[in-house]
């Protein structure tokens, strides 16, 4: 694949559902170094997008596409990524990168062998207050971390039945965003010690989770995830140092409070940052494929106690 110099990077999308419409399409169009050429989906046809029924049709019509973002549910991402890499296109994987760690590692190896850039995207790492939190943590001894990631699945994921199917991850679909932040702000490995997985009797993935983790240096991390939160939605990480300083990273990483004082409060522009990063990786001939957030979810599923929850009806 020849690099594009000053010309915009030509991008195609596979999957034209809610996340593509809400985030990918506007973020690509908002970056002068990128050009959205086309997308494909069996059913969806967003306004203003050259849309095709499948990847073969899209690439036949637009062989100039240099990179492809895969915005499908995770259960089918590995097979699609294989096809994209086989034709030498750079790959942007929506999170989580695949349904399993094995699939994610296979994608990474294929990309390395083919010499294409691979981005396993973790959009929450690009929230405006994450890097300031990382710096604060690096300068202190941490006593404990608590994660509360609680939202209303009916509000944020309407009609997305795949999310409660095997491989859809349930409440870990948003919860993995907190783990992507956690693994970014900590230099240490994070290990799952126990988890309660509340799985509706008519579903295959959890709707609520309580999880205890530990870092290599030994401080505890408690995470509570809930897909049935009504009223105020909570996407917060609470950190306490051994000297009793307190940091709160809230609203998914857009707001930062230290010892009761607001330090950062900005609008989210995560996907704009992700796509700028994707562009720069390709220009440098590099990849960014960190699977540590997915590994934590996999460990929770391995260790977790399964608890029957009431039937879920959207």
Phi-psi region of 191 (alpha: psi -120 to 50; beta: other; left: phi over 0): beta
Residue 95 falls in the annotated catalytic set: yes
Convert the chain into a string of H (helix), E (strand) and C (coil).
CCCCCCCCEEEEEECCCHHHHHHHHHHHHCCCCEEEEEEECCCCCCCCCCEECCHHHHHHHCCCCCEEEECCCHHHHHHHHHHHHHCCCEEEECCCCCCCHHHHHHHHHHHHHHCCCEEECCHHHHCCCHHHHHHHHHCCCEEEEEEEEECEHHHHCCCCHHHHCCCCCCCHHHHHHHHHHHHHHCCCCEEEEEEEEEEECCCCCCCEEEEEEEECCCCEEEEEEECECCCCCEEEEEEEECCCCEEEEEHHHCEEEECCEEEEECCCCHHHHHHHHHHHHHHHCCCECCCHHHHHHHHHHHHCEEEEECCCCC
Catalytic residue among 10, 95, 108, 150: 95
Distance from the first to the final alpha carbon of the chain: 45
Active site residues: 95
């Amino acid at each position: 694949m020849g690099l594009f110099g000053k010309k915009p990077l030509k991008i195609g999308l596979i999957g034209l559902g809610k996340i593509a419409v809400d985030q990918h399409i506007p973020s690509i169009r908002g970056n002068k170094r990128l050009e959205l050429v086309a997308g494909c989906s069996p059913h969806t046809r967003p306004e203003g997008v050259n849309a095709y029924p499948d990847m073969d049709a899209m690439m036949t019509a637009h062989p100039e596409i240099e990179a492809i973002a895969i915005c499908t549910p995770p259960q089918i991402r590995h097979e699609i990524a294989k096809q994209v890499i086989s034709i030498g296109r750079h790959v942007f994987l929506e999170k989580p990168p695949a349904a399993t760690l094995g699939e994610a590692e296979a994608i990474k190896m294929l990309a390395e062998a083919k010499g294409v850039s691979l981005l396993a995207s973790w959009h929450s790492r690009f929230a405006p207050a994450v890097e300031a939190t990382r710096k604060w943590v690096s300068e202190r001894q941490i006593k404990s971390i608590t994660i509360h990631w609680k939202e209303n699945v009916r509000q944020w994921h309407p009609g997305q039945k795949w999310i409660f199917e095997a491989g859809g991850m349930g409440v870990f679909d948003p919860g993995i965003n907190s783990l992507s932040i956690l693994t970014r702000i900590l230099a240490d490995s994070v290990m799952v010690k126990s988890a309660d997985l509340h799985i509706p009797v008519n579903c295959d993935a959890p709707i609520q989770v309580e999880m205890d983790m530990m870092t290599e240096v030994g401080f505890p991390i408690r995470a509570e995830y809930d897909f049935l939160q009504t009223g105020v939605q909570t996407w917060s990480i609470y950190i306490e140092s051994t000297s009793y300083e307190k940091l709160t990273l809230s609203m998914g990483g857009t707001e930062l409070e230290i010892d009761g004082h607001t330090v950062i409060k900005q609008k989210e522009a995560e996907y704009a940052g992700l796509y700028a990063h994707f562009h720069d990786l390709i220009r440098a001939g590099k990849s960014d494929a960190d699977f540590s957030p997915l590994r934590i979810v996999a460990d929770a599923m391995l260790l977790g106690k399964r608890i029957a929850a009431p039937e879920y009806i959207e």
